[in-house]
Amino acid sequence: MQINVIGSGYVGTTLAACLADLGHDVLAIDIDEEVVAALNDGRAPIHEPGLDDLIAEHAGDRLRATTSYERVPEAEVTFLAIQTPSREDGSIDAAPLAAAAEMTGEVLDGTDDDHLVVVKSTITPPALAEVRTAVLDATGDTTGRISVATNPEFLREGTAVEDFLSPEKIVLGADEQWATERLEAVYEPLLADHDAHVVRTDPDTAMLIKYANNAFLATKISLINDIGNVCKEFGVDAYEVADAIGMDDRIGERFLRSGVGYGGSCFPKDVAALIATAENQGYTPPVLNAAIELNDHQPERMLDLLEEHVDVEGERVAVLGLAFKPGTDDTRNSRAIPIIEGLQERSAEVVGYDPVATENMREHFPDIEYADSPAEALDGAVGALVVTDWDEFATLGDAFETMAEPVVIDGRRIVAPSNDLTYEGLTW
Ligand code: UDX
C-alpha cells in the first residue's frame, strides 16, 4: 500500500520506518529540509534503538522523504504525526496539526479517489473536531470519499521500534466501514505474524483509550508513591509491599516502582491535557489532579530527606541522573529539574551527572556544574540525590568515599546501601 506520513519527529519517523519495514511504500513529508535529507541519506533524524538500521535498509526504496505535499494524492492513506504543543492550561494546541491537515485537504481537492487521513498524534475530541473540519473544508468533499480516522500509538522511548513491531494492541478509530478496513490493511502484514489485540472503534473513543491508558499508568505510579510515602513513615519497605500486591492479577506487578515520580514527554502532558479538556466540559477529575499533585511533590520529599541529614546552603550537592528515565538522553519533565531548582532555592552548589543527558540538561540549567563521571560529581559533596535508575549507579562502590558527608538519598532504589553510607530510600 502507498502511505504518506506527515511529520518526521519521534512518532512520525518511527511510524514511517516501521511501515516501510512491513512492506508498504512510504513517503515521509516534513518541512525541515535537514530531516528530509537525513531520511533520504538513510540516517535516522532522532536516536531510537533499531531505527537507524530500518531507515538505512529502506531509504531510497520503500522509504522516501520530501518537503512537498504534491504527491499526497498518490497514496491511499495519510498519517498525521505532527507536534501538539501544550497551552498554559495544559490543553493542547492543535493549530500545527490543523495546518498540516488543511494542506493535506488542499492537495486532495480536485482528485476523485477516496483517501483516509489518520491522526497519529495524541489529541482530545475538540482538537480532533478542529482537524476534521480543516481537512473537509479544504477538500470541499461532501461525498464521504475522504475520511478522518485516529490510530493512537503506545510507544515507549528507547523501545519504540520494538513496541511498534510487537504491539499488545492496535486501536483503530474510524467512522466508516471502508476506513476501518483500510486501517486494517495497513496493519495486516504485522498482524499476520503477531497476536495483537485489535480494537475497532470510533475516532474519539480511540483517542480517549490513549489518554486513559497514560492517565491510568501515571496514576498507578502516583498511587504506589502515595503508599510508599506511608510505608516510609513506618519504616516499612514499599518495594516488599509492591512485590506482594503485584501478585494480585487485578493489580499487576508492573509499574509499581515507587520513588521520585514520573517524567517524560507523555505522562505529564497527556494527564494535563485530559484534565483541561474535561474541565472545559465542566468536569474536574479529582483523582487525576491528585496524581499530578503527588508527582509534583515527590522531589520536595527527597530534598526534605536530605535536609534531615545535612545543611546544604553553600555546599556541594551531587544530582546523579538527569534523563527522565534510563536509556534515553531526554530530559523533558525529568524529576531532576525540580530537584535542581529546589537545591538552587536552598543556595546549594549543584553538580549534575548523567551518562548521556548532560547536553540536554544544559539547556535548562546552563550555569550549574556538570561532571564527567559519578566520582567527579561526588567528590567533596555533602549529599547525593539519585534521580534516574541508570545501571551504573548500582555499582558505584568506592566512588562515595570522597564525599564530604556520605549522605545518599535514593529516589529510584538503585544504589547498593553500605555501612559507610548514610543511605535513605525515598519510600523504603
Ligand atoms: C510512556 C508510556 O509507557 C507509553 O506507552 C506512552 O506511549 C508514552 O509514555 P515513556 O514516557 O517512554 O512511555 O516512559 P515509561 O517507560 O513509561 O516511563 C515513564 C516515567 O515513569 C519515567 O520517568 C519512569 O521513571 C517512571 N516510572 C515508571 C516510575 O516512576 N515507576 C514505575 O514503576 C514505572
Domain positions in the chain:
2-201, 236-428
Find the range with the poorest average confidence among 9-18, 42-51, 223-232, 316-325: 42-51
CB of residue 393 inside a 6 A radius of ligand 1: no
Q: Are strands 422-425 and 369-370 parallel, antiparallel or unpaired?
A: unpaired
Could you tell me the three cell numbers for 216?
491510568
Choose one of 216, 325, 386, 391 to mutate for the ligand 1 pocket test, by most ligand atoms within 8 angstroms of C-beta. 325
Choose one of 84, 159, 163, 217 to mutate for the ligand 1 pocket test, by most ligand atoms within 8 angstroms of C-beta. 217
Q: How confident is the model at residue 15 (pLDDT cuts 50, 70, 90)?
A: very high
pLDDT (tens digit, 9 = 90+) per residue, 119-163?
Answer: 999 999 999 999 999 999 999 988 999 999 999 999 999 999 999
Taking CA atoms only, the protein residue closest to ligand 1 atom 10 is 156
What is the distance in A from the centroid of ligand 1 to the CA of 142? 42
Q: What is the pLDDT of residue 397?
A: 86
Contact in structure between 176 and 147 (CB atoms under 8 Å): yes
**What CATH homologous superfamily does 2-201 map to?**
NAD(P)-binding Rossmann-like Domain (3.40.50.720)
Taking CA atoms only, the protein residue closest to ligand 1 atom 34 is 255
pTM of the prediction?
Answer: 0.96
The CA distance from 371 to 355, in Å, is 10
Judge whether 2-201 and 236-428 match in fold.
yes
Could you tell me the three cell numbers for 260?
521520585
- Residue 77 above 90 pLDDT? yes
Q: What is the pLDDT of residue 373?
A: 98
Closest listed residue to residue 27, CA positions, set 56, 69, 57:
69
Question: 236-428 is classed in which CATH architecture?
Answer: 3-Layer(aba) Sandwich (3.40)
Which residues are marked as active site? 266
Taking CA atoms only, the protein residue closest to ligand 1 atom 20 is 262
Q: What is the pLDDT of residue 222?
A: 98
Q: Which residues contact 263 (CB under 8 A, 6 or more apart)?
A: 324, 325, 332, 333, 334, 335, 337
Could you tell me the three cell numbers for 84?
501538539
pLDDT (tens digit, 9 = 90+) per residue, 293-339?
Answer: 999 999 999 999 999 999 999 999 999 999 999 999 999 999 999 99
CB of residue 154 inside a 6 A radius of ligand 1: yes
- Residue 110 above 90 pLDDT? no
Q: What is the pLDDT of residue 139?
A: 95
Laid out side by side, the sheet with 197-201 consists of 63-66, 25-29, 2-6, 77-80, 115-119, 146-150, 169-173, 197-201
Mean pLDDT, residues 81-99 taken together: 96
- Residue 57 above 90 pLDDT? yes
The CA distance from 337 to 360, in Å, is 11
Q: What is the chain's mean pLDDT, rounded? A: 97
Residue 269 marked ligand-binding? yes
Mean pLDDT, residues 13-37 taken together: 98
Percent of the chain scored above 90 by pLDDT? Answer: 97
CB of residue 414 inside a 6 A radius of ligand 1: no
Q: What is the pLDDT of residue 215?
A: 98
CB of residue 423 inside a 6 A radius of ligand 1: no
- Residue 47 above 90 pLDDT? no
Residue 157 marked ligand-binding? yes
Q: Angle at CA 272, nearest 5°, toward 331 and 346?
A: 50
Contact in structure between 293 and 231 (CB atoms under 8 Å): no
Contact in structure between 351 and 369 (CB atoms under 8 Å): yes
Largest CA distance in the chain: 76
What is the distance in A from the centroid of ligand 1 to the CA of 261? 10
